[in-house]
Amino acid sequence: MNRKLICIICPRGCQLTVSGEKDNLTVTGHACKRGQVYAIDECTHPVRTITSIVRVSNREDCMVSVKTATPVPKEAIPQVMAAIRGMTVQAPVKTGDILAENIFGSRIVATKDID
């Protein structure tokens, strides 16, 4: 493998190069360790944190923002979005409240307070 990618862990955006075989990948171009981990993950099993909104059913025109508490597999994004779209919640909601368990290995948590 010889793949160039841009690290997206932090806004510095280092240009990374991944080379080698599947179990023995080497990364160059990273300014910190997180970039190295990211590059190997990205080439073996890419993941993303998904953020969206869920309707608050007992408040008028009210949405609460949510996220996957941990990153989910990139190829599962459409199914994760479909699961989130199917949800509703009841206020009050607090930041960090768990709104769903085990959606492709992650919890869906609220990222905003709704009184």
Partner 1 sequence: MIKHDIVIVGGGPAGMAAAVAAYDRGVTDVVIIDREDTPGGILRQCIHNGFGLHKLGQELTGPEYATVYAVKVAERGIKVYTGTTVLSVTQDRIVTATGREGIVQIQAGAVVLTMGCRERSRGALNTPGTRPAGVFSAGTAQKLINIDGYMPGKKAVILGSGDIGLIMARRMTLEGAKVEAVCEIMPYSGGLTRNIVQCLEDYDIPLYLGTTVVEIHGKKRLEGVTIAQVDENRREIPDTRRYIECDTLLLSVGLVPENELTIAAGISMDRVTGGAIVDENCHTEISGIFARGNVLHVHDLVDYVSDEAERAGCGAADYVKNGVQAGEYIPVKAVGGVRYVIPQHINRNATGEISLFMRVAQPSGKARITARQGETILATATKLKTAPGEMEKLIIRPGLLGTGEITVEIEQL
Q: Which residues bind ligand SF4 (CB under 6 A)?
A: 7, 9-10, 12-14, 30-32, 34-35
Asked whether position 67 contacts partner 1 by CB under 8 A, the answer is yes
91 interacts with, out of partner 1, ligand SF4, none, CB within 5 to 8 A per kind: none
**Distance from C-alpha of 53 to C-alpha of 85, rounded to nearest angstrom:** 8
For the bound state, the minimum distance from the C-beta of residue 36 to partner 1, rounded and expressed in Å, comes to 16
111 interacts with, out of ligand SF4, partner 1, none, CB within 5 to 8 A per kind: partner 1
SS3 content of the chain, % helix, strand, coil (to 5): 20, 40, 35
**Distance from C-alpha of 65 to C-alpha of 110, rounded to nearest angstrom:** 6
